[in-house]
Amino acid sequence: MQRYAHLLIIPVVFFGDRWTKILIVEHMQYLSSIEVTSFLSIVHARNYGGAFGFLSQHGASTIIFLVFPIVIIAGLIYYLLRYRHPLLVNIALACILAGALGNIYDRLLYGYVTDFIDVYYGKYHWPAFNVADASITCGIGLWMFTQLLGPGSRAQGPERKPG
């Protein structure tokens, strides 16, 4: 069981993402905004494209942003369950998978993803995102960190064979 403990990240992130998106949709008008601090607002936005709205104006984007994530999700599930990895790599992959599942759920159900975290500083503005996006970003960052340390490091752990 301990070998799969990192998989608990998946339902926690998925349902946390669902819960926050439901709160936004039920309690905020579309395109409304609530300023929290001088650099953070809660908004109700819809993303019909990929990360940062990429390809949101193209008709093929719906197909691209349904098929590609499903292939990635299937690959991540296979990779997580088929091979043994160091704990940090498992955590990173679970975060990526959880976020991908959260966003693909929205895209399959609604045709878009609800974004609501809006970060900015002066005239510099980061595109709105959600819990699933943050999980994917943290997972990729953690995975890159383990790869930079290289095989055999404490974070990377010893190289292991499949199985």
In angstroms, the first-to-last Cα distance of the chain is 15
Structural Rg of the chain based on CA atoms: 17
Q: Please, what sign has the CA dihedral across residues 110, 137, 12, 3?
A: positive
Whole-number Å distance between alpha carbons of 34 and 21:
15
Task: Say whether 115 is catalytic.
Answer: yes
The tokens of 71 are what?
Answer: 């292939």
Task: Say whether 106 is catalytic.
Answer: no
Of 17, 106, 118, 133, which residue is the catalytic one?
133
Of 17, 106, 115, 118, which residue is the catalytic one?
115
Using alpha carbons, select from 110, 99, 128, 113 the residue that is nearest to residue 48: 113
Query: Which residue numbers are catalytic?
Result: 115, 133
